[in-house]
Structure 1
Amino acid sequence: MIDDLVQLGKLVSLGLALMLPLANPLTSMTMLLSLGQHIPYKERDRQIQQAACYVVGIMLVTYYAGAWIMATFGISIPGLRIAGGMIVVSIGFSMLFPAAANAASDEREADVAADVALHRQVPNIAFVPLALPGTAGPGTIAMIISAASTAGGETASHYPAWTIAVAPLIVFVLLGVLFWVCLRSAGRIVALIGNGGVEAISRIMGFLLVCMGVQFVINGVLEIVSQHGGVL
C-alpha cells in the first residue's frame, strides 16, 4: 500500500510539473488586478471561488470527455499534439517577449473596463477571462486531452490502475486550490516580488512553454512517422 501511495505521489508531482507552466495562475492574477480592481471585496472573493471551481470543472470535463470530443470531430492524437504544441509555443513566445505596445494596450483596455464597471452592474469575470482562457486555456486543454489519450499506454503499466484513475482528480483539485490561493493573494504577491519579479517568473514560464510546445510538435511528427512509416 505504501508503494502504491509513493507511485501516486510521483504521478501527482509529474502532473503538476507538466500543468503548472501551462495553467499559469500568474496570468489570471494579472487579469484580476487589472479588471477586478473596482469590484467590491466580498464580490471579488465570491468570483475568485467561482473561478477556482470553473477551472477544476473544465479540466475534469476535458480529461474524461476529451477522447469522445476528438472522435466526434475526427481529430487524431498526432494532430492534437502538433496543434497543441503550436499553441503552446505561441503562448510561450508571447510571455518571453511581451511587446510594449501590447502592455500599453492592455493598460488602456483595463482603464476602459474600470470606467465601464463604475457606471453599470458589477461584471462577473469568474468564467471569462479568469478561468477560461486565463488558466484553462487552449494549451492546457490540449495537454490534458493528450495526457488522457495516453493514460492507458505503456507508461501506465508501471503504475497501479487505481493511481492512474485518482491522480488526475488530485492534480486538478490541487491546481484549483493553487489558483484560488494566488488570486486571493494577488495584491500581496505583487507587493512582495514587485512587477519585475512577476515579469521574471512570467518569462521563465514562457521559456518552459516554448520547450514543451516544441517537444509536443516533435512527438506528434514522430507518431505520424511511426504510424505511416511504410508509406513514407
Structure 2
Amino acid sequence: MELAAYLKSFLGLLAIVDPFIAVPMFLALTPTATAQDRMRIARIAAIAVFCVLSVGLLGGGPVLDFFGISLSAFKVAGALLLLLSAVDSFNAAPGRQRQTPEEEAEAHSKHAVAVVPIATPLLAGPGAISMVIVFGQSHPGVKTLGQVAHLGMLLLVIAVVALITWLTLRAAQRVSVVLGITGMNVATRVGGLITAALAIEILASGLTGLFPGLKQ
C-alpha cells in the first residue's frame, strides 16, 4: 500500500470513530467530575480505543480463517454496517449500531464509564472494528516482511486516531463551547459522508471478489 492509501485509511477510521459524537455523552456521563477526573477518563477511553481496534486488526484474520469466512464476504458485511453507521452520522446521533437505549441507560448508573460505553461501543464499535479488519487483510502474505510493515503502519494509524480521541475528550468542555451543537453536528455529518463513500468502495471490492463476472 502507498502512503496515500494509509492516509485514506486514517481519514476513514477517524470518520467512523468520530470523537465529536462522543463529546455530549462524555459530558453527560461526567457531570460532577473534576477536571482531573475527566482527563483521567479521557486517557483511559483513548487507551481502550487503541487496544480494542488493535486486537481487531491483529486478531481479525485468524477469526475469519477459523469460521471459514472469505475476505470478500466480510467486506460486504462490513460495508453494510458502515453504511448504517453513516446514515446515523447524517442524523448527527449515535444509532443502535453504536449504543442501544438500554446500554445508554445502564451507563448512567455506572461510575466507570471510560471503557464502557465511551470507548466501546460508542467510539470503537462494530463499524470501526470491521474497518480495521478489512484494512488489515488487504495486504497478502500473513508472515511476510511486507505484511509486518503493513500491520505496523495500521497500528500507527490507530494510535493517531486514539491520540486525537484523547485530545478531543480531554478538551470536551471547550470543544462543546467553541463548536456548539451545530458545529459538532456538521463535523459528524462530514464524517458520515466520508464513511459512506468508503463503505461503497469496500462494498464494490467485496462484490467483485464474490462475483468476478461483475468486473467485466
Q: Which residue of 1 aligns with 2:180?
A: 194
Q: Equivalent of 1:32, from 26, 30, 33?
A: 26
**Structure 1 residue identity aligned to 2:139:** A
Aligned-residue offset at 1:9: 5.5
**Residue 206 (structure 2) pairs with residue 220 (structure 1):** yes
Number of residue equivalences: 205
Distance 1:66 1:180, change over 3 A: same
How far does the alpha carbon of each residue in 1:36-87 deviate from its partner, in whole angstroms, 9 at most, with x for none? 2233433332222111111111111111111011122222212211111111
Give unpaired runs (5+ residues) of structure 2: none
List aligned pairs for 1:41-52, cutoff 5 A: 41-52=35-46
List aligned pairs for 1:1-232, cutoff 5 A: 10=4, 12-98=6-92, 123-152=111-140, 163-226=149-212, 229=213
How far does the alpha carbon of each residue in 1:73-126 deviate from its partner, in whole angstroms, 9 at most, with x for none? 222212211111111111111121358xx9xxx9xx98x779x65xxxx61111
188-197 vs 205-214, greater mean Cα deviation: 205-214
Aligned-residue offset at 1:141: 0.8
Instruction: Return the alpha-carbon distance in structure 2 between the equivalents of residues 14 and 142 of structure 1.
Output: 16
41-50 vs 86-95, greater mean Cα deviation: 41-50
**Structure 2 residue identity aligned to 1:207:** L
Q: TM-score, normalised by structure 2?
A: 0.82
Any idea what SS the aligned residue of 1:20 has? helix
Instruction: Return the alpha-carbon distance in structure 2 between the equivalents of residues 162 and 80 of structure 1.
Output: 22
Tell whether the 8 Å contact from 1:95 to 1:205 is kept in structure 2 after alignment.
yes
Give unpaired runs (5+ residues) of structure 1: 1-6, 154-158
**Structure 1 residue identity aligned to 2:184:** V
Distance 1:210 1:175, change over 3 A: same
Instruction: Return the alpha-carbon distance in structure 1 between the equivalents of residues 83 and 195 of structure 2.
Output: 6
Q: TM-score, normalised by structure 1?
A: 0.77
Instruction: Return the alpha-carbon distance in structure 2 between the equivalents of residues 68 and 49 of structure 1.
Output: 30
Instruction: Return the alpha-carbon distance in structure 2 between the equivalents of residues 219 and 136 of structure 1.
Output: 23
Instruction: Return the alpha-carbon distance in structure 2 between the equivalents of residues 40 and 113 of structure 1.
Output: 22
Aligned-residue offset at 1:182: 0.3
Q: Which runs of 4+ in 1 moved over 4 A?
A: 7-12, 159-163
**Structure 1 residue identity aligned to 2:63:** I
Percent of aligned positions that are identical = 23
Instruction: Return the alpha-carbon distance in structure 2 between the equivalents of residues 221 and 96 of structure 1.
Output: 25
Tell whether the 8 Å contact from 2:23 to 2:172 is kept in structure 1 after alignment.
yes
Bigger CA radius of gyration: 1
